[in-house]
Structure 1
Amino acid sequence: MNDQAERVTRPFRFGVVAPITSDLRTWRDRVRRIADSGYSTLLMPDVPTWQPALAPTLATAAALTDLRVGSWVYAAALRDPRSTAWEAHSLSILTEGRFEMGIGAGRPGIEVELGLPAVSHAERRARMRDTVTALREFDGPDLHTPVVMAVSGPKSQALALEVADAVTFVLQSDDDRAETTKRVRDFPGDRDIELAQHVAAVGDGVAPFMAGPGLDTAALRAADSLIILPSDPVAAAEEIERRREEIGFSYFVIGADFADTLAPAVAKLTGR
């Protein structure tokens, strides 16, 4: 971003990635507890074969509470653009406007691991664009499904500037605070795009579905990485406020295992 002052300061909101890793009754209780703790959005990963499909799971979560729901994130490497857009539009209708579509290129190699043909970076970006284009066609003039786009390099960032309502930056474990701050500040500020922060670790714990295996939390702290937050809610709240003030992040997404731990920070900051 060329001038941090140009970007609007948005109120804080918080999302939770809550895959089904337990029996259904325990998961439903967790969803209700997340809603009662002040979080705004219940999110699901797009990882076939690891859990029930994203769309019916989100529809179930939306029926349990008044939470917003969303994909975190649809993997373009695995998905047909038009059918994905239809699914996203349908979720917007069925949740009465409480769905937000997160979409990204997909983890490198994920399609090959699942027995599908390899998809190039260019094709992944083309699918992302085509998905958003089709979604806008399905939505028509009376509905706008928010789009959160996971971005990495300049080409995906340029795409997000054209079509997304919010962005989350794909960060590596060795990206330090200074590097990440520069990267986000260099993101053009001529459109009012919400900046989201994917938090893979809290304290000494790593969230399932949000990081690769073997993520070293001590190394994250040593690198002053932004993909980790302190487990102490007071310290976490201070760090979250610092990140909005210095960088512009206002939407923070954490794993469900840490929802109770950070609930006091969320209660303090939500909407401020």
Structure 2
Amino acid sequence: MSLGVQLPRDLPIDRFLPYARRAEELGFDELWVVEDCYFRGGIAQAAAALAATSTIRLGIGILPAALRNPAATAMEAHTLAELFPGRLVLGIGHGMPAWMAEVGAAPRSPLRLLEEHITAVRALLRGDPATLAATVRMDLPITAPPPMVLAGVRARSPWPSRAASRTARSWPNRSPPSTWPRPAP
């Protein structure tokens, strides 16, 4: 079991790096940064916290799929995973519907977009081709892609669980628990 702490989204910037260092000093296994509406970006926070620490894993919770292109997500994750091997956990979700609408990024189907985004990011991080506007591939695949966390799905119907199950099964060395709902044949 690991123990983590979340960096408050509204922490004054002059306390950001000291907070990250202190979490590591206190022995936390993980530090999670939040990409939240009109606060700070998850990738920039992750890069700064990873550079300011030496052992703590850094989770990004969450990058909204509707707001980010899968190729850009993969390139950023790839860079952080290469610079800080084994220390990144990449959280991707559909984002808050109101925020996505405010910024003009509300998809017709948040779950479909989320599944497509995660599938493309995973393929790119493995060095496999992914179909976006064209079929693309990363030039520098990494040997150990960062673990991904699917977040932000609300289970008011079986569809979110099914999408989570499909994407979890597509990730190498990670299989969903047997208690997860399986997609209908």
Bigger relative contact order, structure 1 or 2, given CA contacts below 8 A and separation 6+?
1
Aligned to 1:32: 21
Q: How does 1:106-145 map to 2 (within 5 A)?
A: 106-121=95-110, 122-137=112-127, 138=138, 140=141, 142-145=143-146
Q: How does 1:74-153 map to 2 (within 5 A)?
A: 74-121=63-110, 122-137=112-127, 138=138, 140=141, 142-150=143-151, 151=153, 152=155, 153=160
Aligned-pair distance for 1:76? Answer: 1.0
Aligned-pair distance for 1:28? Answer: 2.0
Q: TM-score, normalised by structure 2?
A: 0.73
RMSD of the alignment, in Å?
A: 2.7
What is the number of equivalent residue pairs in this alignment? 161
- For structure 2, the residue ranges without an aligned partner over 5 or more in a row are 128-137
Deviation per residue, 1:77-112 (Å, 9 max, x gap): 211111101111111112233112111222233310
Deviation per residue, 1:227-255 (Å, 9 max, x gap): xxxxxxxxxxxxxxxxxxxxxxxxxxxxx
Select the residue among 63, 71, 94 that pairs with 2:60: 71
- For structure 1, the residue ranges without an aligned partner over 5 or more in a row are 1-11, 168-183, 190-272
The answer to whether the Cα contact below 8 Å between 1:77 and 1:110 also exists between their aligned partners in 2 is: no
1:57 equivalenced with 2:45 (yes/no): yes
Greater Rg by CA = 1
The answer to whether the Cα contact below 8 Å between 1:102 and 1:147 also exists between their aligned partners in 2 is: yes
SS of structure 2 residue aligned to 1:35: helix
Amino acid at match of 2:148: V
Alpha carbons of 1:35 and 1:78: their partners in 2 closer, same or farther (altered >3 Å)? Answer: same
Instruction: Give the Cα–Cα distance (whole angstroms) in 2 for the partners of residues 70 and 110 of structure 1.
Output: 21
- Between the aligned residues of both structures, percent identity stands at 26
Q: TM-score, normalised by structure 1?
A: 0.52
